[in-house]
Amino acid sequence: MQINEKQIALVNDRLQAILKSGNYFGKMYEEMGITEVRSAEDFKRLPFVDKAELRNAYPLGIQAVPDEEVVRIHSSSGTTGKPVIIPYTAKDVDDWATMFARCYEVAGITRNDRIQITPGYGLWTAGIGFQAGCEKLGAMAVPMGPGNTEKQLQMMQDLKSTVICATSSYALLLAEEINKRGLKDKICLKKGVIGSERWSDKKREYISNELGIELYDIYGLTEIYGPGIGINCADQTGMHYWDDYIYIEIIDPETGENVPDGVEGEIVITTLVKQGAPLLRFRTHDLSRIIPGECSCGSRYPRLDVIKGRSDDMFKVHGVNMFPSQYEELLGTIDGVSSEYKIDIAHDDEKNRDIILLTVEAEGRVSFDKTAVTIRNAVKSKMSVTPKVVVVSVGTLPRSEKKTKRVFDHREE
């Protein structure tokens, strides 16, 4: 999506603020001789910004306003090394709440709703974002925070919560508990707002059916406000995002070149009005595409497709780029297979070719050998590579509370 005149003016305004502040990026732009952005060409000359640089600026090196204007910080946890600290001004906090309230509205949520919020509060941007948006909208927040399923279910019944906000894993757990305890008739939930991550259609269907609710994916990341910068509408044709607050471009993660609308690539976000920590051309490593054309719902806001995965997770075999999510989707269609799997890639020196070993868990209703053949043929027809498939019993592969590592590449060893 081409950057428009109005957005260019806003980018230039942010660039001037960054330069004036002399923060980490202000110094970087000065050294590079970047003084203004007046055209789409100028914009494309801006370097990309990556999370590693935000870490280098720890703790407050990316702050672009005087201390007295900062009202809050949030932090994104890194899997390794230092966390990233993002300072917010009062306007940033308010803008974020406005965007979040807009998300709720797109999901058809109103002042009459009661929103049970289960994501965590604290340094993380989740819980507080859901809450601020709810209050901005004028709905009733039930600020539960994570865990304590017993109490969650009690409050859900007593307060007649109509909306549940959760990660997909916690929504699944709640759905399973409600099913197990036969509480379906006692709850009033109508909608679920789920933090956007890659999750299978199988899981989505189960949650939606068990709870009898409509599900909405909300998008966002701590570096760019937090959740609430986009959400899918009732027409379920991708997530609308707020192009008056952020500019989104999609790039080829390898070359850094912009790809045309409709083509998949990495999401790069520029904040247009952020004060505390403005970011220009921030690489999210999330993979998606801009959906061309207008949505049938009539909204003028552009759309992103569901997040397909992370560019960091991409792997290449026989010159073909692949993502764990493609395997996940495919396994979701095969009977009796669990959601757990593992991909090992190695190089066969004798035959000089790469080998993919796919380990999959199955219940055993269908014989493991038969399941392996079904999976191998499915991968072959969908992805034009033929993996070796090993089927093991459910519970064999390790479980992780955090993000599970799926791909093990042994080729560079």
Which residue, 107 or 156, has its beta carbon nearer to Zn ion? Answer: 107
236 contributes a contact to Zn ion by CB under 5 A: no
Beta bridge partners, 99, equal none
Q: Which two tokens stand for residue 220?
A: 């966002």
R_g of the chain computed on alpha carbons: 23
Q: Write down the least CB distance from residue 162 to Zn ion, Å.
A: 22
Helices (H) and strands (E) counted in the chain, each on its own, are 11, 21
Instruction: Name residues contacting Zn ion, limited to 127-156 (CB under 5 A).
Output: none
- CA 356/CA 347 separation, integer angstroms: 9
393 contributes a contact to Zn ion by CB under 5 A: no
- CA 98/CA 39 separation, integer angstroms: 29
Contact assessment for residue 222 and residue 86, using Cβ atoms and an 8 Å cutoff: yes
Piece in contact with Zn ion (CB under 5 A), picked from 123-131, 213-221, 228-236, 397-405: 228-236
What 8-state DSSP symbol labels residue 380? H
Number of neighbouring beta carbons within 10 Å of residue 392: 17
Q: Which of 233, 314, 331, 345 binds Zn ion (CB under 5 A)?
A: 233
- CA 17/CA 64 separation, integer angstroms: 7
Instruction: Kindly write out the interface string for residues 72-111 of this chain, putting x where it contacts Zn ion by CB under 5 A and - elsewhere.
Output: ----------------------------------------
3-state helix, strand, coil in the chain (%, to 5): 30, 30, 40
Q: Which of 17, 291, 297, 383 binds Zn ion (CB under 5 A)?
A: 297
Q: Which of 35, 39, 56, 299 binds Zn ion (CB under 5 A)?
A: 299
Piece in contact with Zn ion (CB under 5 A), picked from 1-9, 297-305, 353-361, 382-390: 297-305
Number of residues that bind Zn ion (CB under 5 A): 5
Instruction: Name residues contacting Zn ion, limited to 276-295 (CB under 5 A).
Output: 295
Q: Write down the least CB distance from residue 191 to Zn ion, Å.
A: 16
- Site for Zn ion, rule CB under 5 A: 233, 235, 295, 297, 299
